[in-house]
């Protein structure tokens, strides 16, 4: 299955295209525009591509500066979801809390972003095998990810986990 994961932002978005059979990222961008995300989706076609987007939701206390950022992000996410729907895509959504829960990193040390990145890497490393990220000379399946694209990959992995294990967690 090929999955497009989108971590929406108020202007640009973290995005990845992940091949769940090959277990590797085939495209990523840490700051993609809505037009770029839609263009990548159209390359694959709605018959082949599943789309999952983080659904903005409040977690804990929110300061006044964060409210505007969150509203802008929600607006962008809605516009992108509508744009993809017009092309025939069904856009599945998960909240950040659901992503953290399905990755098994709802609590722990460090920021939630760092825990998501660590979970993505741990999911792709094998004892004695090549590193999940690797280097330019010998790239791993997660080579090239940075910033918000890690969160988009975490979203994809959480959604795939949810699809295979259901809502039993």
What percentage of the chain carries pLDDT values higher than 90? 81
pLDDT digits 0-9 by tens, 18-31: 999 999 999 999 99
Q: Would the pLDDT of 65 be above 70?
A: no
**pLDDT band at residue 37, thresholds of 50, 70 and 90?**
very high
Q: Token match 């961008």: residue?
A: 29
* Dihedral sign of CA atoms 167, 45, 95, 126 in order: positive
- pLDDT for 59: 63
The structural domains of the chain, ordered by start, are: 2-58+69-165 (3.30.420.10)
- pLDDT for 167: 54
pLDDT digits 0-9 by tens, 77-124: 999 999 999 999 999 999 999 999 999 999 989 899 999 999 999 999
Q: Would the pLDDT of 64 be above 90?
A: no
Q: Taking each helix axis as running N to C, give the angle between helix 64-86 and helix 34-44, from 0 to 180 degrees, rounded to the nearest 10.
A: 30
How far, rounded to the nearest angstrom, does the alpha carbon of residue 139 sit from its chain's CA centroid?
Answer: 20
Q: Identify which of 111, 88, 85 has the alpha carbon closest to the alpha carbon of residue 100.
A: 111
- pLDDT for 130: 81
Contact 116, 154 (CB under 8 A): yes
**pLDDT band at residue 50, thresholds of 50, 70 and 90?**
very high
163 contacts: CB under 8 Å, gap ≥ 6: none
pTM of the complete model:
0.91
- pLDDT for 75: 92
């Amino acid at each position: 299955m090929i999955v497009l994961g989108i971590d929406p932002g108020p202007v640009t978005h973290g995005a990845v295209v992940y091949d769940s059979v090959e277990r590797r990222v085939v495209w990523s961008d840490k700051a993609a525009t809505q037009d770029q995300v839609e263009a990548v989706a159209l390359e694959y076609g709605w018959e082949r591509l599943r789309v999952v987007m983080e659904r903005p939701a409040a977690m804990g206390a929110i300061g006044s500066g964060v409210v505007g950022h969150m509203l802008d992000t929600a607006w962008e996410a809605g516009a992108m979801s509508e744009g993809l729907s017009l092309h025939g895509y069904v856009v599945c959504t998960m909240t950040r809390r659901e992503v953290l829960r399905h990755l098994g990193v709802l609590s722990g040390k460090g920021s939630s972003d760092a825990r998501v990145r660590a979970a993505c890497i741990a999911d792709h490393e094998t004892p004695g095998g090549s590193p999940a990220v690797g280097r330019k000379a010998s790239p791993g399946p997660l080579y090239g990810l940075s910033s918000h694209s890690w969160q988009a990959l975490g979203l994809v992995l959480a959604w795939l986990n949810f699809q295979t294990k259901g809502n039993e967690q």
